Amino acid sequence: MCGIVGYTGTNQASPFLLEGLQTLEYRGYDSAGVDILSPDGGLHGVKCAGRVATLVERCAQANLVGTCGIAHTRWATHGAPSDRNAHPHRDCSGTISLVHNGIIENFRELREELLANGHELVSDTDSEIIVHLVEESMQGPAKGDLLEAVRIATTRLQGSWALGVICTEQPGVLVCARKNSPLVITSDETGAYCASDITAIIGKSRHITQLEDGQLARLTPDGGIYVIGADGRHVPNPQTIDVSWSASEAKRGGYPDFMSKEVAEQPDAMTRLLANRLGDDGIVLDELNMTDEEVAAIDRIYIIACGTSWHVGLVAKEAIERWAKIPVSVEIASEFSYSSVLITEHTLCVVITQSGETADTLAAARRMKAMGCRVFSICNVIGCTAARESDGTIYVQAGPEICVASTKAYTSQMVASFLFALYLAHKNGNMGLDEVKEKYDALLEAPEAARTVLERSWQDRNAARAFQGRVSSLYLGRGVNATSAREGALKIKELSYLHAEAYPAGEMKHGSISMVEDGYPIVAVVPDDDTRAKMLSNIQEVKARGACVISVATDDDEDIAAQSDYVLWIPRMTEPMFNAIPAAVHLQLLARFVAVDRGRDVDKPRNLAKSVTVE
Ligand code: AGP
């Protein structure tokens, strides 16, 4: 949560900083602020509650001049969204300015200590205490060296942080630091840049420096990037990556919103991931980094994830257990610390996370690692923390996903999970090569099926009318379709703030059917598979009680059409499990239309953030 961005160089800082904040706004959007070192030697800035657009308007009036600055867009954790709690925060003398993404867990003790030392704290945030710690070390042991002052300050902190710090005593110096919160750096001929996410700096250079946990960096106007470790020692070769995607991929490109763009990108994203994945020896998944013997010995899998990625885990479980016959537990990461874990030396932990920065997922993965378990991750964001801490990672290559609601990452993660399940099944002898090839060929149908659904978006447009004036809805399915129902319901909730409950269809009669009344919207995921006959009965049951039924059904299924008010048609898939992909695309489109009808900001739903870096 929260996005930070910083610049020092020869250009004016505010255009880059404000543009960077707009790119990062998906990370948090309840308040925003900017501070610039101005030529008169002072700090000048603006901060306010509300969206980045409000900040941009205020900055236009403030006429901020200067070539070194930091900026922040906030997702509130400590203290309400307000002008006062917005970042940047300054020290008592008003000469040091700081932005922070993360949570300082020991802030109460530090706050007490700082107040006792005579500091004046003006916000309710945990972040503000850091700038006062920097102030103390600047005046004390760091002797005016900002990098050293920030390093000393971070030794007092517990929790997570990505920091950007500037001060009037060292004009042009921008110090960054990170621990458990993402931070990337780059430079070009006009200066050096830092940001929470590559999307904000990719337009400057594709060559990205990634700070490791505990590292700090001093950026200078000549583009210099000097990295040190938590112990203060110089790190001569910090980790760098070259990003393959371009700045334009992180822009809206003519679509009304990022969600529309990202939904439309799904066929291409899946095609990319599927390319060259079948070799002479079955599925190619070198990213797992395990020998054939190690793979064949896997006796249990823990899948750990949150939200939409957790839904991918449920689908992956079906595929792995069915094809590879390995028992799988799918864990909600935030609940994982309370569960007892039974591992053997052959247990594999799989973390599924689009951003690779989700705090709950990282904490759970670390717990598994500490227990000696090998960790494999399925991620989208290149170089993310989850990937860096895993023994192997498959990148789903969906490209930057900006809309808070996950769409293209979901379907690509599913494709990656299917590949993984086929890989396991072949390596442990539960599936012969011919069958692997058949399944892979069937999986190749997924991009085209998604494309077909996109061409049918008018069906979702029509069906969205069923939600008008409604306060609640029910999503039903059986087997893997129950997971599609869960994901569809999550999409409706997060985008339109309309209550939606997902239920295994057979369980409905044990309670939730009492909600059904005239016109009550029910979305039934009922493709032509072994769940269809029983689903048809469930649809008749709710129809008899006046429900308005929207079915996701396989082309030409007239029986389903006869019982439904609206049908979202999906093409026939050779492998029934892969119905989850075109079904997901319909349910994404449906959720978007319902949200648009309600006047919601589909890219930035209230209270949410793209990357949930707090536990
Ligand atoms: C999905 O639409 C959500 N915004 C959310 O549930 C998300 O999937 C979850 O926070 C996990 O994120 P991750 O995949 O980046 O770990």
Q: What is the pLDDT of residue 532?
A: 97
Mean pLDDT for the stretch of residues 254-279: 94
Amino acid, single-letter form, for residue 193: Y
Q: Is the CB of 307 under 6 A from ligand 1?
A: yes
Contacts of 534 (CB under 8 A, 6+ apart): 478, 505, 506
Which atom of ligand 1 is nearest the CA belonging to 406?
2
Q: What is the pLDDT of residue 606?
A: 87
Mean pLDDT for the stretch of residues 165-179: 97
The sign one gets for the Cα dihedral 173, 251, 262, 608 is positive
> Residue 577 and residue 443: Cα distance in Å, rounded?
10
The fold adopted by the segment(s) 258-444 is: Rossmann fold (3.40.50)
Q: Is the CB of 1 under 6 A from ligand 1?
A: no
- Determine which one of 2, 68, 349, 403 is catalytic: 2
> Residue 532 and residue 209: Cα distance in Å, rounded?
51
Residue nearest to atom 6 of ligand 1 (CA): 307
With 80 as the cut, is the pLDDT of residue 245 above it? no
In sequence order, what DSSP letters do the residues of 297-324 get, joined into one string? H--EEEEEE-HHHHHHHHHHHHHIIIII
With 80 as the cut, is the pLDDT of residue 597 above it? yes
Q: What is the pLDDT of residue 65?
A: 95
Which atom of ligand 1 is nearest the CA belonging to 610?
4
> Residue 362 and residue 183: Cα distance in Å, rounded?
16
Select from 228, 221, 210, 202 the least CA-distant residue to 150: 228
Q: What is the pLDDT of residue 24?
A: 85
Residue 68, token pair as written in the block: 């070194």
Mean pLDDT for the stretch of residues 233-255: 83
Q: What is the pLDDT of residue 16?
A: 96
pLDDT in tens, 304-341: 999 999 999 999 999 999 999 999 999 999 999 888 88
In sequence order, what DSSP letters do the residues of 337-393 get, joined into one string? TTS-----TTEEEEEEESSS--HHHHHHHHHHHHTT-EEEEEESSTT-HHHHHSSEE
Number of CB atoms found within 10 A of residue 516's CB: 20
Coil, helix or strand at residue 54:
helix
Q: Is the CB of 313 under 6 A from ligand 1?
A: no
Q: Is the CB of 309 under 6 A from ligand 1?
A: yes
Residue 76 pLDDT level (bands cut at 50, 70, 90): confident
Based on the residue annotation, tell me whether 2 is a catalytic residue of this protein. Answer: yes
Pocket test for ligand 1, best of 258, 259, 358 (most atoms within 8 A of CB): 358
Mean pLDDT for the stretch of residues 345-367: 95
User: What is the pTM assigned to this prediction?
Assistant: 0.81
Select from 586, 594, 471, 467 the least CA-distant residue to 526: 586
Q: How far is ligand 1, taken at its centre, from the CA of residue 354, in Å?
A: 7
Q: How far is ligand 1, taken at its centre, from the CA of residue 309, in Å?
A: 6
Q: Is the CB of 250 under 6 A from ligand 1?
A: no
Mean pLDDT for the stretch of residues 276-289: 94
Residue 250 pLDDT level (bands cut at 50, 70, 90): confident
Q: Is the CB of 127 under 6 A from ligand 1?
A: no
Q: Is the CB of 613 under 6 A from ligand 1?
A: no
163 Ramachandran zone, left/alpha/beta (phi>0; psi -120 to 50): beta
How much of the chain exceeds pLDDT 90, in percent? 84
Sketch the domain layout of the chain as residue ranges: 3-250, 258-444, 455-597
Pocket test for ligand 1, best of 406, 408, 412, 414 (most atoms within 8 A of CB): 406
Q: What is the pLDDT of residue 581?
A: 98
Task: Provide the H-helix boundaries in 47-127.
Answer: 52-62, 107-116
pLDDT in tens, 382-415: 888 999 999 999 999 898 899 999 999 999 999 9
Which atom of ligand 1 is nearest the CA belonging to 491?
2
> Residue 567 and residue 473: Cα distance in Å, rounded?
16
Coil, helix or strand at residue 499:
strand
Q: What is the pLDDT of residue 246?
A: 72
Amino acid, single-letter form, for residue 421: A
Residue 133 pLDDT level (bands cut at 50, 70, 90): very high
Q: What is the pLDDT of residue 186?
A: 97
Residue nearest to atom 3 of ligand 1 (CA): 405
- Determine which one of 439, 491, 493, 610 is catalytic: 610
Mean pLDDT of the chain: 94
Residue 81 pLDDT level (bands cut at 50, 70, 90): confident
Out of 23-37, 121-135, 417-431, 556-570, which region has the weakest mean confidence (pLDDT)? 23-37
CATH superfamily of 3-250: Aminohydrolase, N-terminal nucleophile (Ntn) domain (3.60.20.10)
Tokens 């739903």 identify what position?
605
Residue 361, token pair as written in the block: 């997922």
Based on the residue annotation, tell me whether 548 is a catalytic residue of this protein. Answer: no
Q: Is the CB of 612 under 6 A from ligand 1?
A: yes
With 80 as the cut, is the pLDDT of residue 344 above it? yes
| 311, 283 contact by CB (below 8 A) | no
CATH classification of 455-597 is 3.40.50.10490, yes or no? yes
Q: What is the pLDDT of residue 513?
A: 87
Mean pLDDT for the stretch of residues 415-425: 98
Pocket test for ligand 1, best of 335, 354, 407, 413 (most atoms within 8 A of CB): 354
How much of the chain exceeds pLDDT 70, in percent? 99
Measured torsion, CA atoms of residues 189, 100, 61, 607, in degrees rounded to the nearest 10: 120
Identical fold for domains 258-444 and 455-597, yes or no, is yes
| 325, 424 contact by CB (below 8 A) | no
Mean pLDDT for the stretch of residues 37-43: 94
With 90 as the cut, is the pLDDT of residue 252 above it? no
Distance from the first to the final alpha carbon of the chain: 11
| 75, 30 contact by CB (below 8 A) | yes
Mean pLDDT for the stretch of residues 166-185: 95
